[in-house]
Amino acid sequence: MNTPAPHDADFRSDTVTRPSKAMLEAMMAAPTGDDVFGEDPSINELQTTVAGLFGFEAALFCPSGTQSNQIAIAVHTRPGDEVICHRLSHIYNYEGGGIARLSGASVRLIEGEHCARGAMPASDVALQINPDDSHFARTALVSVEDTCNKGGGAIQNRAQLAELSRLCRSRKLPLHLDGARAWNALSASPTDWANYGQQFDSISLCFSKGLGAPAGSLLLGSEAFIAQAHRQRKVMGGGMRQIGLLAAACTHALNHHFEGLADDHTRADELGSALASHPQIQAVLPVDTNIVIAQLAHGRTPDEFLSHIAQTGIWGYPFGPDRVRFVTHRDISDDHLNRAVAAIASWS
């Protein structure tokens, strides 16, 4: 399998970023301890700081966003329960069937004309909540994704989120946020982080995407919730030891890389415009943040398009039988963008 060369422009994902020299220096200087014993000061500081920023009591560091999401689902549900989420959601599409495999829960999907690009209006969700009847699975959790990856990095409408939160609380249903790219949503559509966070009962936040850390996600919740999450992390093999190095990378990313997300969004918008103007591109999803998804003209395939641009050192990602995805990130420069626009224009 071919891989990008060091000078190539890698738009496949925002997970491909490399630690900067300053981040590596922060990692090497980090104090460490055994996190399974709760004795790593760098992790403890990161967990306390980020929980406070979003108005939560506690947080738990996990290796990945998939694990933090699956831990949350396992805590919120019991076998036989049902989880309501969008058809485009990451927890349904890209986490290896973990809801069924790890929690023994089934899924009720939200889709339809009012639910484009990952939107979950409260009125649509309300129709999917099962009655309290032994014939039905117990509706135990609602999960929303902000931004929505398969929706083209779509930002959830804030008024709709608030309405969904009110619905869930009125029905005594926990609301989980898969916030793998919530940093992008908060950058593109600024709001008070604590007010945003308090709409949810749990939040998963990734540091290894737009913020550029090499690994790590935090799961936020109440102290009681995080205590249960700690047990689930142990069962899933997510406990690590001297991981202050990773915590330092996440802290550095949060303190120094958040402002740069706006540049990623600007470059994504320009890339989206270049794709939309190409005669062999049928459509481009609206570009809200750093993800650009383009649908190719009938009969054209992702393989032929991506193979063509790869010859000039531009890397995208197949995203279905007729779609491609490009993701901008901190390792994509204006020069990379210009080269990508030229490579796209040269495809015929």
Measured over the CA atoms of residue 238, residue 242, residue 246 and residue 252, the dihedral's sign is: positive
* Cα 157 from Cα 331, distance rounded (Å): 29
* Cα 59 from Cα 218, distance rounded (Å): 6
Phi, psi for 54 (deg, rounded to 5): -105, 10
Q: What domains sit in the chain, N to C, each tagged with a CATH number?
A: 9-16+260-345 (3.90.1150.10), 31-256 (3.40.640.10)
* Cα 130 from Cα 126, distance rounded (Å): 9
Nearest in space to 345 (alpha carbons), one of 255, 275, 288? 275
* Cα 283 from Cα 123, distance rounded (Å): 29
Q: Which two three-digit tokens encode residue 335?
A: 């020069």
* Cα 64 from Cα 229, distance rounded (Å): 14
Non-local CB neighbours of 342 within 8 Å, separated by 6+ positions: 312
As a whole number, the mean pLDDT across the chain is 97
Q: How confident is the model at residue 2 (pLDDT cuts 50, 70, 90)?
A: confident
> Residue 306 in contact with residue 318, Cβ under 8 Å?
yes
Work out the average pLDDT over 83-87.
Answer: 98
Phi, psi for 257 (deg, rounded to 5): -110, -15
Q: Which two three-digit tokens encode residue 88?
A: 């485009």
- φ/ψ bin of 252: left (φ > 0), alpha (ψ from -120 to 50), beta (otherwise): alpha
pLDDT of residue 109: 98
Q: Is the model's pLDDT at 213 over the cut of 80?
A: yes
Work out the average pLDDT over 130-146.
Answer: 97
Q: Is the model's pLDDT at 208 over the cut of 60?
A: yes
> Residue 75 in contact with residue 103, Cβ under 8 Å?
no
Alpha carbon 196 to chain centroid, angstroms: 16
Q: Is the model's pLDDT at 171 over the cut of 80?
A: yes
* Cα 236 from Cα 102, distance rounded (Å): 9
Work out the average pLDDT over 86-102.
Answer: 98
CA dihedral in degrees (225, 226, 228, 229; nearest 10)?
A: 120
Work out the average pLDDT over 331-348.
Answer: 97
Q: How confident is the model at residue 1 (pLDDT cuts 50, 70, 90)?
A: low
Q: Is the model's pLDDT at 202 over the cut of 90?
A: yes
Q: Is the model's pLDDT at 6 over the cut of 90?
A: no
Non-local CB neighbours of 95 within 8 Å, separated by 6+ positions: 66, 69, 70
Q: Is the model's pLDDT at 88 over the cut of 80?
A: yes
